[in-house]
Chains A and B, each alone.
Chain A
Amino acid sequence: AQKVTQAQTEISVVEKEDVTLDCVYETRDTTYYLFWYKQPPSGELVFLIRRNSFDEQNEISGRYSWNFQKSTSSFNFTITASQVVDSAVYFCALSDMYSSASKIIFGSGTRLSIRP
């Protein structure tokens, strides 16, 4: 069974602080994909990253970085030097089917508030 756990329901930090959002996943498959999405107050989902299970390299994109560790089934997301515009709900997600009807299973989300 697939499952994504985001234990942090809400996080609030002061602007310019670094913040890490945790994500732990469960799957029986050896081939799977992990995602992070951002949902600002407007509601529209913004895709941030996708990672496949065979690529454990960490990734950095500007102030964003991701740490994928298969040994702990975690795919954590770090925002460096946070900004008020980073305030949103962030979802970690998992898909372990690669077909014409792939399903993406979302975690419960972490609401991030950046205070000025």
Chain B
Amino acid sequence: GAVVSQHPSRVICKSGTSVKIECRSLDFQATTMFWYRQFPKQSLMLMATSNEGSKATYEQGVEKDKFLINHASLTLSTLTVTSAHPEDSSFYICSAPLAGGDPLEQFFGPGTRLTVL
């Protein structure tokens, strides 16, 4: 089956630093990837749609300058949390459908838990 990985699985950083989270489709190509944020005991909130070779589309209320997304290849999207603060501590999850496949059959990564001290 299609597998999506995320790296790192956990990261702890100091306030003010930047953190990069990778989302990789291991055995398929993905022209689109989605980034979600999940606060403790809350739902998944879509942050942005990452598009290979073009700019990401951000949801309302998500700061594009703070959450930089780069989709440089058909198998990799990165989310960089710039100047992270404690309120950015969250569980970040990516998902991706197969390129050219059913766009609603999305494969989710295992998530990255970010803790900002």
Contacts and interface: CB of A to CB of B under 8 A. Distances in A.
A54 to B, nearest CB: 14
A93 B55 CA distance: 26
A106 interface: yes
B46 A100 contact: no
Interface stretch (A11-19, A38-46, A58-66, A67-75): A38-46
Contacts of B104: 33, 50, 95, 98, 102, 104
Interface string B48-77: 010100000100000000000000000000
Chain A interface residue bracket vs B: 20 to 34
Chain B binding surface SS class: strand
Contact of B43 (A42, A98, A108): A108
Interface stretch (B19-27, B81-89, B105-113): B105-113
A105 B57 CA distance: 16
Contact of B110 (A42, A47, A102, A108): A42
B103 A100 contact: yes
Given A91-B43, A108-B43, A99 B103 contact: yes
A85 interface: no
Interface in B9-49: 31-32, 34, 41-46, 49
The 3 closest A-B pairs by CB, nearest first: A45-B108, A102-B103, A44-B110
